[in-house]
Amino acid sequence: MTSEKLAELSIFYGAVQKNKELTQLVDLLKQKPKLNNVLEIGSASGGTFWLWCQLASSTAQLTSIDLPLGRFNNGRTYNEKLLLGYKKPNQTVSLIRKNSHSPKTESKLCEVLNEKELDLLFIDGDHTYEGVKDDYNRYSKYVKNGGLIVLHDIAHHDQVKDCQVDKFWNELKQQHSVVEIIDPEYDDRGWGSWGGLGVLVK
């Protein structure tokens, strides 16, 4: 399936992302070895989780950490049965419905990983500066050397004041070699400037 079609379907299943941005990310991931271990923080209705299942190996472990009724899910429903249904027959899915900032949640992840390292960490949870920084600092250490860390919503959101991912992203850019995927075109969602994906290799 083409990268553009995968992005289109991911958005159909609920991903809140511009098609051009998601297509570029899929292109990048296709150049890497198959994903064997994925962690997504903030799944909401599961659009990007579906995408990781498609891109991952047939025996991959995929984990979602999602806080029920979290402030940044935009009212989208978290459906466990749906997310479990996205996996390939021999993939393993673990759904951790807890606050990603809790040490207990981190401990639960460690049980799931069983000392294995992540190939991909996708951070799309608490979009405040403090929240995204905590998610990065808490979970990036589980990513293997050469693995990818992707932050969602790195563009400046001038009409969504609680979205402060760009502030933390600008700090990361000073410390790491990164790839920015930002489509500057506005759309009809009424959010003004929004979106963006930030990618760094650990």
Which CATH number is 175's domain given? 3.40.50.150
Model pLDDT, residue 190: 58
Above 80 in pLDDT, residue 170? yes
Q: How far apart are CA 137 and CA 82, in angstroms?
A: 29
- pLDDT tens by residue, 57-111: 999 999 999 987 656 554 455 678 889 999 999 999 999 999 999 999 999 999 9
Q: Are strands 35-41 and 118-123 parallel, antiparallel or unpaired?
A: parallel
**Per-residue pLDDT at 186:** 63
Q: Which two tokens stand for residue 199?
A: 């990618």
158, burial (CB in 10 Å: exposed 0-12, middle 13-18, buried 19+): exposed
Contact 64, 43 (CB under 8 A): yes
* Widest Cα–Cα separation across the chain: 44
8-56 residue pLDDT tens: 999 999 998 989 999 999 999 999 999 999 999 999 889 999 999 999 9
- Three-class SS state of 16: coil
Range of the domain at 73: 3-201
If one counts the domains in the chain, the total is: 1
For 27-40, letters b (16+ CB in 10 Å) and e give ebbeeeeebbbbbb
